[in-house]
């Protein structure tokens, strides 16, 4: 059976992914007097802050200086952090508490493999920090998702081969990253681009050990 589970954060453990896009919308409205379509959100999910901004600027067909680029990154993060002030245990997504409890009961190791630099602080607010044996630092890997680096780093932090791990994601970039790392990919969500996952579940409420264990190919 698999020995570790590598979790994405936004949209998997807590519904913070919508807060990211809301922050981008405010930023674009303030600086460019423009609106972002909801359809663009999927392209900004699971990737780094800088890569998200590149997607947005490309959509707007706008170029900015390096100084302005960094300013936009800082301001977006400040807006996002402000939206997290009231985040608490009640913001865990459905089924996550039970799933994590089940994994811990079976001595399966957990690692966070999120592109968010705010991951540790968010886990603290959700009162889940102690459940994770490792948190991969996205600033320490060469390439962000869809490259596999963060999932390889998360598995290594657990002293495991990615092949012995399950990765859980809600973004197409994240699923690509898991697949390329060698881990078994589980997607939660209904977006068509998630079909590249080894297992597709409609929501986090469907996450449970038996379902994944039965499908896991290396039993």
- Are residue 9 and residue 112 in the same domain, yes or no? yes
Phi, psi of 135 (to 5 degrees): -130, 110
- Are residue 163 and residue 195 in the same domain, yes or no? yes
- Are residue 99 and residue 49 in the same domain, yes or no? no
Identify the domain containing residue 200 by its residue range: 4-15+88-215
Q: Residue 182: pLDDT above 80? A: yes
22 is in an annotated binding site: no
Q: Is 210 a catalytic residue?
A: no
51 is in an annotated binding site: no
Report the candidate in 156, 153, 151 with the shortest Cα–Cα distance to residue 166: 151
- Are residue 41 and residue 76 in the same domain, yes or no? yes
Last residue of a domain, one of 83, 108, 135: 83
10 is in an annotated binding site: yes
Q: Is 149 a catalytic residue?
A: no
Q: How many structural domains are present in the chain?
A: 2
- Are residue 67 and residue 93 in the same domain, yes or no? no
CB 184 within 8 A of CB 165: yes
pLDDT in tens, 100-145: 999 999 999 999 999 888 899 999 999 999 999 999 999 999 999 9
Kindly state the helix (H) or strand (E) to which residue 168 belongs, with its residue range: strand 165-169
Average pLDDT score over residue span 153-160: 98
pLDDT (0 to 100) of residue 72: 97
179 is in an annotated binding site: no
- Are residue 74 and residue 94 in the same domain, yes or no? no
- Are residue 74 and residue 116 in the same domain, yes or no? no
98 contact partners, CB below 8 Å, separation of at least 6 = 208
- Are residue 65 and residue 95 in the same domain, yes or no? no
Q: Residue 16: pLDDT above 80? A: yes
Last residue of a domain, one of 61, 83, 105: 83
170 is in an annotated binding site: yes
pTM for the predicted model, two decimal places: 0.85
53 is in an annotated binding site: no
- Are residue 71 and residue 136 in the same domain, yes or no? no
State the CATH number of the domain containing residue 33: 1.10.150.240
Q: Give residue 219's pLDDT band: very low, low, confident or very high (50, 70, 90).
A: low
- Are residue 111 and residue 27 in the same domain, yes or no? no
Last residue of a domain, one of 29, 54, 83: 83
Strand ranges for 98-144 from DSSP E: 109-112, 134-135
- Are residue 97 and residue 135 in the same domain, yes or no? yes
Neighbours of 1 (CB within 10 A): 12
pLDDT (0 to 100) of residue 42: 84
- Are residue 104 and residue 47 in the same domain, yes or no? no
Six-digit token string for 108: 């399966």
The catalytic residue among 10, 51, 149, 164 is: 10
pLDDT (0 to 100) of residue 116: 87
State the CATH number of the domain containing residue 130: 3.40.50.1000
The catalytic residue among 8, 51, 149, 164 is: 8
pLDDT in tens, 45-100: 878 899 999 999 999 999 999 999 999 999 999 998 898 888 999 999 999 999 99
117 is in an annotated binding site: yes
Average pLDDT score over residue span 190-209: 95
- Rounded to whole angstroms, the Cα distance separating 123 from 89 reads 9
């Amino acid at each position: 059976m698999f020995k570790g589970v590598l979790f994405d954060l936004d949209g998997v453990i807590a519904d913070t992914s919508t807060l990211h896009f809301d922050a981008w919308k405010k930023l674009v409205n303030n600086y460019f007097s423009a609106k972002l379509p909801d359809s663009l959100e999927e392209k900004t999910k699971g990737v780094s802050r800088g890569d998200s901004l590149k997607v947005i600027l490309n959509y707007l067909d706008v170029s900015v200086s390096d100084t302005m680029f960094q300013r936009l990154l800082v301001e977006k993060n400040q807006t996002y952090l402000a939206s997290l002030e009231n985040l608490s245990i009640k913001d865990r997504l459905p089924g996550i508490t039970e799933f994590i409890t089940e994994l811990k009961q079976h001595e399966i190791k957990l690692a966070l493999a999120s592109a968010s630099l705010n991951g540790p602080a968010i886990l603290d607010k959700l009162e889940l920090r102690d459940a994770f044996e490792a948190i991969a630092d996205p600033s320490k890997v060469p390439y962000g998702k869809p490259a596999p680096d963060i999932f390889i780093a998360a598995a290594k932090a657990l002293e495991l081969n990615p092949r012995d791990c399950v990765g859980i994601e809600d973004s197409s970039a994240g699923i690509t990253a898991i697949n390329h790392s060698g881990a078994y990919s589980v997607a939660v969500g209904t977006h068509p681009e998630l079909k590249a996952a080894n297992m597709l579940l409609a929501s986090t409420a469907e996450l449970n050990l038996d379902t994944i264990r039965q499908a896991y190919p290396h039993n």
